[in-house]
Amino acid sequence: MKIIKKPYKLTARIKAIKKNGKTVGFVPTMGSLHEGHISLIKKARKENEIVVLSIFVNPTQFGPKEDYKKYPRNFSRDKAIAKKAGVDIVFAPSAENMYPEGVSTCVEETNLSKILEGAIRPGHFKGVTTVVLKLFNIVQPDISYFGQKDYQQAVIIKKMVKDLNLDTNIKVLPTVREKDSLALSSRNIYLNQEERKSATILCHSLTSAKKLIENGLTNTEEVKKKIRTMIKKEKISGIDYIEIRELETLQPVKKITGKVVILLAVRIGKVRLLDNMIIK
């Protein structure tokens, strides 16, 4: 497994790989790898000749009051996990390499990025689309792998790829969960024991909502109310949103007749937790 830190070095390497006609699978991450990331790497390993993993805690997607500085970082541990999972190249640039002084170009999705997470974290998705496009340009992936856990992010990246005529595929893989159903997230380590217990309410309430809908409940307001009631029974700091939306446009749905996604953002202790479920 090769570790590359400079963008231009990876560009050169990828050029050689592409010249040999090899396919490149790409897993972009902020490191602090867990089973969710590993599932993406393993899928990439199966479907491509070369697997590139990026580890980059992207400063531009964090708000000024967010946890950029204390975001968990453990490069040696990540390297070991990546190697074991079958990564060929780890791309781990510094912030200075990705954003040299005077950088002034950004990529923005101007519609889907303003709602839900985008409304609560202004500028977040602009940071995400900009860094992901930069990474795509460096890695030139045939297929890139994202987790469904960050559902809105995946939808926005797919939109960017379409809008900017990028010739690359995006695959979104199912959320990986702990045994008790909590969606894996690098930020789960911030939860204390009690909060960790309460956190299972996100997935449990989604599963209950799914059952209600499968049993014929179609009024989204009623479904949302049920979820809210369930979540409020736990010791939480607050609910940012409970939304039922169309899968691609993320527009609100009044009556559930086709596929929808239920999206949750709940604060427990000082941690914001996201979860979602697609209802078919």
Point out which residues bind its own copies (CB under 8 A): 7, 11, 15, 19, 21, 102-112, 129-130, 133-134, 137-138, 140, 159-160, 163-167
Report the half-sphere exposure of 263 (CA within 13 A, side-chain side). 24
Specify the residue, 111 or 218, whose C-beta has the smaller distance to its own copies: 111
Write down the least CB distance from residue 238 to its own copies, Å.
Answer: 30
Specify the residue, 66 or 163, whose C-beta has the smaller distance to its own copies: 163
Kindly name the residue from 34, 37, 124, 204 that is annotated as catalytic.
37
Write down the least CB distance from residue 247 to its own copies, Å.
Answer: 14
Whether 3 and 79 have beta carbons less than 8 Å apart is answered as yes
The dihedrals phi and psi of 19, each to the nearest 5 degrees, come to -60, -35
Specify the residue, 7 or 36, whose C-beta has the smaller distance to its own copies: 7
Specify the residue, 45 or 158, whose C-beta has the smaller distance to its own copies: 158
Amino acid at 22: K
Q: What is residue 49's three-state secondary structure?
A: coil
Interacting residues of 18 by C-beta distance below 8 A, sequence separation 6+:
24, 140
Write down the least CB distance from residue 75 to its own copies, Å.
Answer: 22
The CA distance from 274 to 241, in Å, is 10
Tell me the longest C-alpha to C-alpha distance in the chain.
Answer: 58
Establish whether 124 is a catalytic residue: no
Write down the least CB distance from residue 78 to its own copies, Å.
Answer: 22
The residues assigned a catalytic role are 37
